[in-house]
Every structure is written in structure tokens, then in C-alpha cells.
């Protein structure tokens, strides 16, 4: 019995020892797991965002990600300054670009200066007739003197007999109640004028009807059929805002029309001249025509047989812009007026000159062109221009 007890005791001790050894073995393996988690966490914390990868070369994780970094665009590309000049001025990290911009700056300034010098050159289109009213087309540069504010021009820089310049023509037709009596005939006369004047792929014209407001019934085109439809689409009725219509046609149509070279701008205005609805004045509409370098030809729709107040208004507009006023009291004379305008548009001269003591002060300057070496010649041109403002 004693021997059995001893054996049991020894067995129990052996079991306890085995359990203790097993427990110690487990405790020796456990620390490896937490250390692996810590390394992973450490690697995640140590790995910087993509844009900050370069400042952590000591970390193995960030070093393994480094090869992917060149896929990002570099801070400043050599090609960028040429295509994005605004961007290069805003980015201090690209000194070569800003250096190039500094080198190019004087050239840009020079370009602006050249534009200002060109503005000092005044362009004038004019017509010369003899004492019988016939057009004189064979004169030369030396046959003319130019006075700018009563002072001889410093230089006449160019001179041409412009019989074939491209035309940009606006046809403004009064569609108010006051012209209703012969409105249809005037429409047909205008259509005939457009058919005879506008050359396909060379000239362009537009049609505006006006009563209390201007309405474009056909925009710029060289298609005479479309222009004819624009004229026929006009309907008489309402008040008369003639000054507004002229102002609109010069500022919003002719001044904004693209030009690829020298072009002659003209407006043919059919109205009785009795304006009662405009927001701008007569002189403001004339000023806009002068700024747009537009010649205005007026055709009166007055059929009383004597000049009325509105006819004097039409005459003032035509003379101030270098055009001509027509008073066809007989209905058949309307077509003749259109024919004379067509002939004049193909019988003009154009010159450019440099004024003496020119100043960019926005002031109005008078123009006078004098024909010399020939007697009895009459020169008709716009009366003046507005100097640009610095």
C-alpha cells in the first residue's frame, strides 16, 4: 500500500511537471504574435502618404513603394510654360518658366505699343464729283490735301481708287405706320438693289426693319434670295425709333462684323425721318456711325412734294457720315436712288493719313479733304472722327 501510494505520488508529480513544461512552452511562443502585429502597425504608421514618401527612406515599407512614385507628373514640365503662361506666373516652383516669361514680356509690350501707333492712322473713304455731279475716278494721291482739325496731315500713308472693295451693307427700313402708303414699292426697290449690289462670296448684307424697336429679319449673308425674304418679312406698323435702329446697326452689327481686309461699310436708311420713340439722340446715332466708320445713305419716304422736318434730319445724318440724302418725291424715283447708291459704292477713293500732333484724348477731330490741280471738283467724306482714349 505504501509502495502504491509512492507510485501515485510520483505519477502525479510527473503529470504536474509535464503540465508545467507544456505551459512554459506555450508562453515562449505567445510573444511572437503581438510583435508581428506591432511591426505591421508600425509599418502602416511609418508609411507616409504618396506625396510624402520621399522624406522616409529609413523605412523598408516606404522604400518598396518608392518605385511607383515617378508615375506622378513632375512639379514643372518644360512644355507647360509655353501653353499655360498664366499658370507659370502662379507657380514659384518653376523658375525657368518665370524666366522665360520675363524674357517674353518686352516683346508683348512692344506688340501693344505697335497697336497704339496704328490707331494714329486715320482711314477715310470719299467720293469725288465734278460740277455736273458725275463721279471722277482717275485722280491720284498728289491731287489731294488732307486737313485734320484744320491742320495739314503729317503724312498720307496710303491711297487707293477703291472701285472693287468688299461691301458690308446694312439695309434699314422704316416699318412704322407713317410709311405705310408706299411700303410695298420700297420693299421691291430694296430687293432689286440687293440683287444688283451683293456679289456672292464677296459682299455681305443684312436687313433690319424698325418701328418702336429694330428687328433683324435677315442677318449677314451673301445669299440674295435670303435677303429678299428678309425684306418681304417686314410688316408696317407702330411708332418710329430711327435713331435707335441706326445706333444698333452700327454698334451691334457692323462694328462686330469680322473683317479679313479692307472693307467698305455702308447703311441705306429708308425712312421719313420723323423719330418719336428712340432712347438715343440723333447726334448719338451719328457718333456711333462715325466710330464704326459707316457711310449712311438716306432715302426719304416723304411723298408730300416738299422737304419736311424729317428730311432735314436725314440730310444731317448723311452729310455727317460722308453719305448722301435722296428725296424721291415720285414713287418711281426710289428705284433710281438705289441705282445711284450702287454706282457710288463702286466709285470711291480710300486713303489713310497720320494727323499732325495726334493725341489719344477721345476728342472729336474734323476731317476735310481738298481736291487740288482740278477746278470744280467736290469731295464728299465723313466730317470727322473720335480719337481713341488711352
Give the residue extent of every domain in the chain: 124-160+348-390, 164-346
* Rg, Å, the chain Cα set: 43
- Secondary structure class of 195 (helix, strand, coil): helix
195-198, long-range: CB within 8 Å, 24+ apart, which pairs? Answer: 195/224, 195/228, 196/339, 196/342, 197/167, 197/169, 197/342, 197/345, 198/167, 198/169, 198/222, 198/224, 198/227
Q: Is the pLDDT confidence value at 34 over 70?
A: no
Residue 83 is predicted with a pLDDT of 34
Task: Give the pLDDT mean for 17-27.
Answer: 49
Structure-model confidence comparison of residues 339 and 8, the more confident one: 339
Q: Is the pLDDT confidence value at 386 over 60?
A: yes
Residue 7 is predicted with a pLDDT of 53
Residue 209 is predicted with a pLDDT of 95
Distance CA 245, CA 278 (A): 8
Q: How much of the chain, in percent, has pLDDT values that exceed 70? A: 68
Q: What is the pLDDT of residues 332-369, one digit of tens each?
A: 888 999 999 999 998 899 999 999 988 888 899 999 99
Residue 373 is predicted with a pLDDT of 83
Tell me phi and psi for residue 360, to 5 degrees. -85, 75
Q: Is the pLDDT confidence value at 148 over 70?
A: yes
Task: Return the C-alpha cell found at 137.
Answer: 475716278
Task: Give the pLDDT mean for 66-91.
Answer: 37
Residue 227 is predicted with a pLDDT of 97
Q: How much of the chain, in percent, has pLDDT values that exceed 90? A: 49
Ranges 58-72, 204-218, 252-266, 321-335: which has the least confidence: 58-72
Residues in the chain: 390
Q: CB-based contacts of 329: which residues, under 8 Å, 6+ apart?
A: 302, 303, 304, 305
Parallel, antiparallel, or unpaired: how do β-strands 348-354 and 155-162 relate?
antiparallel
Query: Around Cβ 223, how many Cβ atoms within 10 Å?
Result: 14
Q: Is the pLDDT confidence value at 149 over 70?
A: yes
Highest mean pLDDT pick, 12-16, 53-57, 242-246: 242-246
Class of domain 164-346: alpha beta
Asked if residue 258 lies in contact with residue 299, where contact means CB atoms within 8 angstroms, the answer is no
Q: How far is CA 56 from CA 37, 41, 48, 331, in A?
A: 21, 16, 7, 95
Distance CA 186, CA 330 (A): 12
Residue 85 is predicted with a pLDDT of 33
CA 92 to chain centre: 33
Distance CA 148, CA 368 (A): 7
Q: What is the pLDDT of residues 257-279, one digit of tens each?
A: 987 777 889 999 999 999 999 99
Q: Is the pLDDT confidence value at 222 over 60?
A: yes
Distance CA 315, CA 290 (A): 15
Ranges 165-169, 202-206, 350-354, 386-390: which has the least confidence: 386-390
Q: What is the pLDDT of residues 288-326, one digit of tens each?
A: 999 999 999 999 988 787 888 999 999 999 999 999 999
Q: Pick the closest to residue 353 from 97, 143, 180, 159 (CA basis).
A: 159
CA angle 135, 136, 141 (to 5 degrees): 140
Asked if residue 171 lies in contact with residue 208, where contact means CB atoms within 8 angstroms, the answer is yes
Task: Return the C-alpha cell found at 9.
Answer: 505520488
Amino acid at each position: 500500500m505504501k509502495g502504491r501510494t509512492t507510485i501515485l505520488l510520483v505519477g502525479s508529480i510527473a503529470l504536474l511537471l509535464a503540465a508545467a513544461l507544456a505551459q512554459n512552452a506555450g508562453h515562449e511562443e505567445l510573444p511572437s504574435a503581438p510583435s508581428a502585429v506591432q511591426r505591421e502597425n508600425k509599418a502602416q504608421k511609418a508609411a507616409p502618404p504618396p506625396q510624402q514618401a520621399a522624406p522616409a527612406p529609413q523605412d523598408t515599407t516606404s522604400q518598396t513603394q518608392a518605385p511607383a512614385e515617378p508615375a506622378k507628373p513632375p512639379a514643372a514640365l518644360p512644355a507647360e510654360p509655353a501653353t499655360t503662361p498664366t499658370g507659370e506666373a502662379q507657380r514659384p516652383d518653376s523658375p525657368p518658366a518665370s524666366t522665360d516669361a520675363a524674357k517674353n514680356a518686352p516683346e508683348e509690350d512692344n506688340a501693344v505699343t505697335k497697336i497704339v501707333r496704328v490707331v494714329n492712322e486715320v482711314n477715310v473713304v470719299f467720293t469725288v464729283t465734278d460740277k455736273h455731279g458725275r463721279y471722277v475716278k482717275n485722280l491720284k494721291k498728289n491731287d489731294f490735301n488732307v486737313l485734320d482739325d484744320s491742320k495739314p496731315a503729317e503724312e498720307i500713308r496710303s491711297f487707293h481708287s477703291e472701285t472693287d472693295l468688299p461691301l458690308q451693307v446694312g439695309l434699314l427700313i422704316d416699318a412704322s405706320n407713317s410709311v405705310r402708303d408706299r411700303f410695298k414699292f420700297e420693299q421691291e426697290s430694296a430687293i432689286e438693289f440687293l440683287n444688283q449690289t451683293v456679289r456672292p462670296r464677296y459682299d455681305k448684307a443684312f436687313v433690319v426693319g424698325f418701328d418702336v424697336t429694330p428687328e433683324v429679319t435677315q442677318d449677314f449673308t451673301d445669299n440674295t434670295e435670303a435677303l429678299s425674304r428678309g425684306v418681304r418679312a417686314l410688316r408696317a406698323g407702330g411708332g418710329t425709333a430711327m435713331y435707335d435702329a441706326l445706333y444698333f446697326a452700327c454698334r451691334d452689327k457692323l462694328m462686330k462684323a469680322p473683317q479679313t481686309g479692307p472693307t467698305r461699310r455702308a447703311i441705306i436708311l429708308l425712312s421719313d425721318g420723323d423719330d418719336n420713340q428712340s432712347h438715343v439722340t440723333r447726334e448719338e446715332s451719328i457718333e456711333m456711325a462715325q466710330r464704326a466708320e459707316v457711310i449712311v445713305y438716306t432715302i426719304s419716304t416723304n411723298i408730300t412734294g416738299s422737304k419736311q422736318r424729317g428730311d432735314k434730319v436725314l440730310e444731317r445724318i448723311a452729310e455727317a457720315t460722308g453719305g448722301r440724302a435722296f428725296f424721291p418725291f415720285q414713287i418711281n424715283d426710289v428705284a433710281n436712288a438705289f441705282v445711284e447708291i450702287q454706282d457710288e459704292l463702286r466709285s470711291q477713293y480710300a486713303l489713310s493719313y497720320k494727323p499732325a500732333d495726334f493725341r489719344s484724348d477721345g476728342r472729336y477731330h474734323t476731317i476735310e479733304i481738298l481736291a487740288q490741280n482740278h477746278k470744280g471738283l467736290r469731295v464728299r467724306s465723313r466730317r470727322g472722327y473720335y480719337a481713341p482714349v488711352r
